[in-house]
A and B are shown apart, each in its own frame.
Chain A
Amino acid sequence: MEREVHVGISGEMRSPSRRRLLWQYLASMRLAVSLLVLLAIASVIGTVLRQQESYSSYAFRFGAFWFQVYRDLGVYNVYRTVWYMGIVGFLVFSTATCITRNTPRMLREILEFPVRQRESAIRAQEHFLELHSELPAPVLQDRLLFLLRNSGYRPRSESHDGRGHVAARKGKFNRVGYFLTHLAIITICGAALYNADVPVRWSEWMGTLVPETNFNMPLTSIPHSAWMPLHNPAYRGSVTLPEGDTADVVFESAGDGYLVQKLPFQIHLKSFHIKYYSTGMPRDFVSDVVLYGPKGQILKSGVVRVNHPMSYDGTEIYQSSFSDGGSLLRMRSFLLGLPAMAAGKLVGRVGQTLKAGSSGYSISLKNFKMTNVVPWSSVDGHAHPGSPVINLGPSFIYVVHTPQGEAGEFKTYMLPIHRDGQSFFVQGFRETRGAQYTYVAIPAGPHGGISLFVDYLAALQQTLSGGASPTPAVLTQVFQQVAQVDAPTMSPEKQALFIRDSMLAMTQMHDYPAPFILRLSSFHHRWAASLQVTKWPGTIVIYWGCVALVLGIFILFYLPQKKVWAELRADPEGGSRLLLGAGADRNRLEFAREFAGWREALESSSGSTSTSVTR
């Protein structure tokens, strides 16, 4: 890839063989620049389209025809397609060819630097001057040497046949920069390929390793063909562990399935917790972890935090994400239309599906969240300068299936929120996933809880089904009857407020898709942490490759190679003649100034003018 200057072609011109042409093309600059630009353009694709999503979402977006076209092109996972890897591979191959081709020449250049240079070669330099002086040649030579030394060179001189030869250079090791950068690229790409699990990909391709696509299969029944060998040199998998659980495998995603990697130790998650800032923003995610050996001995224990992995014997364990690990929830179910006395009790863990009595309804507990920090404005629409967010406390999400199979999703907050002197329990529901939740604010009675509301609702339904019309007087009268039992101390103002808020809640509940309301009465929280385990022996090679790359770039740009050759001889007409040629391969503008300075100095010290050429 280096600029070649051919000085004098000797011998007859031979037409280069086809192989030689190919060799030249592979190591050519034009190919390298084209490949760099092509790779850059190809890389754009993967950033414009989100990678590795489910096929169904792509199919939905592009339609059947284009979905297939894009899939065949590998657009959904560009960076692992054969053609992309091909471009990278070709670039590496071209770089390798380039190094092989240039190494002998460059080594020669570093090691050999002849003082004598042919006159034609001196004249072919980028900067050249010819100067006639009245001074004798040795004097002129001394001045030139003095000048070069003053410019920081260490010139050498020789004389042959009455001619003086001077040569000097700086940045002898500039070419080392070339080796370092180009070797670094090959090394980094090579180590990255190794880390990308080439042996595993290979056996996958050979068919000895088959990714499992059933994600609900218990570990013991996963077929042997989906297990990677214990002594796999490099892997990167993750495992989700509920608090108190232990695992000795990690799962690595492969295509639309996964592979299982056995670990040389067992990971036990003692506990997981989230630290918060005063704003309610998470500050840290911390897993307390113990590693056990195959005989049950403790190998290592400690915490795994974001940015602070745990390392053990060449493997690294990272805090990657977290979820609910099956929290125990105790709930009460209030049937709409029946008094609160009839409320049933439910107990279950997140992830389980419960039967709601003998009604045929089923309840799947989906998720539990300890804290819900939301902007104030989303609660009451007012701005609260100073404390822009509020913690709504624990919430849980569940899906209710009707006996007919219809589903609705619910989100229930455990603690009440306070607004305009009245407390409310917030209950969200939606009938399709991805839709916005509709929120119902159920007013809390003076003793807390929603019993007063439930009783009021039941009494109203009974009265109205008896044929009464819902006039304000009836509504108030029914409420007073209920309140006499449930909350006898309630003031008339509070009662009016409660009635108004109840009416609002009942309107909001018009589309409520279940005949009951679940309230969370207590919980025992259990986290699950996702830990990522990696083993990458190629890492150290990548580090050194990176060091070489940066060092090489520095050498290439900041230690340019400059070469100076001069020839001096006595002029038959008296005085002497100087031929000075010089060139630099970087920072040419600066070097041109340096050369112009030399010319000036030589002219003024020898009292003559020169003819000079700059190409």
Chain B
Amino acid sequence: MANSRVENWAPEQLPNTHRTMRDTIFQGAPWGAALTLSAGFIVFRYGAQFGEWQYLVLLCWYLALLVAGSLWRSLQLAVPAVVIPALAAVWMYSVGQTPENSWILHYFLQGLAGAMWMCGLLLLATATYILHVWLRSEPLGRWATRLTWAGTLMGFIGLGVRWRETYIGHPSWGHIPVSNLWEVFVLFCASTSLFYLYYEQRYRARALGAFVMPLVASAVGFLIWLTFAQHMDRIEPLIPALQSFWMKLHVPMMFVGYANFTVASLVGLAYLLATRSATRGGALARAMPAPEIMDDVMYRAIAFGFLFFTTATILGAVWAAKAWGGFWSWDPKETWALIVWLNYAGYLHARVVKGWRGTSMAWWSFMSIWVVTFCFLGVNLFLSGLHSYGKL
């Protein structure tokens, strides 16, 4: 009797805190199938030219997209939304169209156009986020999210197409577009926005955009200056030191770290201002998510960023060992990477092990942006060393 009541107890009543393996497989099936088909097509079409490294890279992409797409389902749309237009542009180039004779390439799909669309859309998104918090308007908030998505996608499309463009006209120049300040700033804006969107969606915390996006907007401003005053959008060949497949791993991973640290530090600022406003009964506190949520976003972003930053730094050291004969040469960039690492290692110890929370940790997270920015930008602008190719 009692047992039958237990069996009758409908599982729908259960809280949806845990997804069973079956759920995951079932929900992830279309995504997995699409990825498998794409990978199969790539192997079928290009397999003859592949060596073991290419297979390994394909496998890594396959697994990473599979996991990321099932953890964050928006990616299942975002990935094709980037890949399809980028491939379309590559195809257009291959049939002899150029930005000079094709308006689609000229205004939308060429690398530069993609980056400029990203700049415009992200600036607009920033303004909309601020208005959203200011006016407490939900529709504006939804628009802000859409604009950020559009800007992010355009940024990644632009980078993808630019990768192809580096080969056009001078095949020996070809390289992944993370080789100069302009290219990494496009990557920084796009990836910071992307990770911000993840946290926004996961925590349903749209008001954070009013704090995170202004920093992205200032990076956009710098990027526009680089484009129009410094003409750094010009494609140039790689110096010998950078011609290595390690660059493809080291730099993008570094930017996963930078993007997450940036998000965390601005959420820290949001936390500080919101809690201050709460003690005075201000309007900001009502517009912002609960402090525990912001605290958790900060921790999550730092932990995720730390994982990638550590990996990227290690990959950089391995690259240095392979290319220059030493893991570590105390080059300013290396040293600052170590400083960033130590800083966040300290943060995570204090937060996880000591259980520190609240204002002091928000301050720590917020102030870390200076350390991160100096590592990312300051070293290249003010100090010299092995990483001097990132100069203006």
Contacts and interface: CB of A to CB of B under 8 A. Distances in A.
Interface of A: 1-3, 29, 32-33, 36-37, 39-40, 43-44, 46-48, 50-51, 79, 135-136, 138-139, 142-143, 146-147, 150-152, 192, 195, 236, 277-279, 281-285, 305-307, 309, 316, 318, 320, 532, 534, 536, 539, 542-543, 546, 549-550, 553-554, 556-557, 585-587, 589-590, 593-594, 596-598, 600-601, 604-605
A143 B324 CA distance: 63
Contacts of B300: 587
Interface in B149-180: 170, 172-173
A604 B17 contact: no
Give me the 9 closest cross-chain CB pairs, A-B, nearest first: A597-B15, A306-B240, A40-B342, A594-B17, A47-B332, A36-B346, A139-B2, A151-B18, A589-B296
B18 A282 contact: no
A542 B320 CA distance: 13
A143 B306 contact: no
Given A29-B354, A151-B14, A282-B239, 10 more contacts: A46-B330, A47-B379, A139-B5, A150-B18, A151-B17, A152-B20, A277-B172, A309-B323, A534-B325, A550-B311
B240 A316 contact: no
A325 to B, nearest CB: 19
Interface stretch (B106-114, B212-220, B221-229, B333-341): B333-341
A354 B327 CA distance: 44
A596 B326 CA distance: 52
6 contacts: A29-B349, A44-B335, A150-B18, A546-B314, A585-B352, A597-B14
Nearest to B378: A47
B325 A39 contact: no
A101 to B, nearest CB: 13
A597 B17 CA distance: 7
A32 B330 contact: no
B2 A136 contact: yes
B307 A557 contact: yes
A150 B330 CA distance: 52
Contacts of A281: 236-237, 239
A146 B9 contact: yes
B343 A40 contact: yes
Interface centre among B15, B349, B352 (most CB of A within 10 A): B15
A44 B339 contact: yes
Contact of B310 (A1, A51, A151, A553): A553
Interface of B: 2-3, 5-6, 9, 11, 13-18, 20, 170, 172-173, 236-237, 239-241, 243-244, 292-293, 295-296, 300, 303-304, 306-307, 310-311, 314, 317-318, 321-328, 330, 332, 335-336, 338-339, 342-343, 345-346, 349-350, 352-355, 379, 383-384
Contacts of B17: 151, 593-594, 597
A542 B324 contact: no
B326 A534 contact: yes
Contacts of B9: 143, 146, 605
Contacts of B311: 550
Contacts, number: 165
A553 B2 contact: no
Contact of B13 (A43, A47, A590, A601): A601
Nearest to B15: A597
Given A33-B349, A542-B327, A553 B306 contact: yes
A40 B367 CA distance: 14
A593 B13 CA distance: 15
Given A283-B172, A546-B314, A147 B345 contact: no
Contact of A557 (B11, B293, B303, B318): B303
Contacts of A318: 323-325
Contact of B328 (A29, A135, A192): A192
Given A138-B2, A597-B15, A598-B15, A47 B383 contact: yes
Nearest to A546: B314
A605 B15 CA distance: 12
A464 B25 CA distance: 99
A600 B328 contact: no
Contacts of B349: 1, 29, 32-33, 36
B62 to A, nearest CB: 19
B240 A282 contact: yes
Contact of B330 (A51, A278, A594): A51
Contacts of B336: 47
Interface centre among B14, B336, B350, B379 (most CB of A within 10 A): B14
B354 A550 contact: no
B327 A36 contact: no
Given A33-B349, A150-B11, A549-B314, A307 B354 contact: no
A307 B240 contact: yes
B350 A601 contact: no
A587 B303 CA distance: 11
Contacts of A320: 324-325
A586 B322 CA distance: 37
B325 A33 contact: no
A152 B379 contact: no
B326 A546 contact: no
Contacts of A50: 384
Contacts of A143: 6, 9
B343 A554 contact: no
A94 to B, nearest CB: 12
Contact of A605 (B13, B318, B342, B354): B13
Contact of B240 (A192, A283, A553, A585): A283
A305 B322 CA distance: 11
Contacts of A604: 13
A597 to B, nearest CB: 3
B307 A43 contact: no
B264 to A, nearest CB: 14
A188 B76 CA distance: 39
Nearest to B169: A278
B325 A309 contact: yes
Nearest to B309: A553
Given A281-B237, A589-B296, A192 B327 contact: yes
B237 A283 contact: yes
B20 A316 contact: no
A597 B9 CA distance: 15
Contact of B342 (A39, A556, A587): A39
Nearest to B241: A306
Contact of A152 (B18, B346, B383): B18
Contacts of A36: 342-343, 345-346, 349
A589 B205 CA distance: 15
A279 B339 contact: no
A261 B46 CA distance: 48
Nearest to A138: B2
B244 A307 contact: yes
A277 B173 contact: yes
Contacts of A2: 353
Contact of B307 (A46, A554, A585, A605): A554
A536 B303 CA distance: 32
